[in-house]
Amino acid sequence: MKQPIDLASWNRREHFAFFSAFEEPFFGLVADVEVSRAYERAKALGVSFFQVYLHAVLRAVNQVEAFRYRIEAGQVYCYDEVHVSATLTRPDSTFAFSFVPYAADLTQFGLGLAAEMEAVQQSTGLRLTPNAARLDVVHFSAIPWLSFTGLTHARSYSHPDSIPKLSVGRYRRVGQQLLMPVAVNVHHGLADGYHVGLFFEALQHELNGTQSAQ
């Protein structure tokens, strides 16, 4: 479900109009999160670390209203919840798009993730299914081969886009901490640095295992 935002009374109406006129309305940043507890929890539960941190990312996204805003034909809508379209790799090093539905429970989320991972392994190409065009998602990619400090995305400027894009890199040991870079790119007409900060705060809570009931 989605609800329209009343643009006339919206406190971001000028921000939305200003940045929506840009050729490139997205901005992005990279910050580290501490993942040692999440890594240990994955081992204790016998599930992949990927499943644990992807679930944490999606739970955090759904806690930040601005990350659930989407622009459709010039109107802003707020979705009740959003899912994840993650790029998943194959043994031949190609990747495909996926659609993993949101579930507050890690085990339930894992079932959807496992089904999509299997579907990708049995496919070729990008899997440009109708789910690839959904707006009620965030775009996600993992780059586990290196710990990056910056990241850009391929974008078609002629195609209207307002979907947040999140990427994670290789984790690294720094003293007693296990740090993982997370890149966030969002439409500036819908979100500011403040909202990205809210996301990182929620994500760290989720990775620490101090989840909300959402």
Q: Which residue has the tokens 């194959």?
A: 90
Q: Which residue has the tokens 């644990």?
A: 52
First and final C-alpha spacing in the chain? 16
- Measuring CA to CA, which residue among 203, 73, 71 is closest to residue 140? 203
Helix (H) or strand (E) holding 160: none
- Measuring CA to CA, which residue among 168, 100, 109 is closest to residue 137? 100
Which amino acid is present at 9?
S
15 carries an active-site annotation: no
- Which residues in 172-197 are b (16+ Cβ under 10 Å) and which e? eeeeeebbbbbbbbbbbbbbeeebbe
> What are φ and ψ of residue 165, in 5° steps?
-125, 125
Which amino acid is present at 212?
S
Task: Find all residues with CB under 8 Å of 35, minimum gap 6, and list them.
Answer: 49, 53, 171, 178, 179, 180, 207
Which is catalytic among the residues 55, 83, 139, 188? 188
By annotation, the residues acting in catalysis are: 188
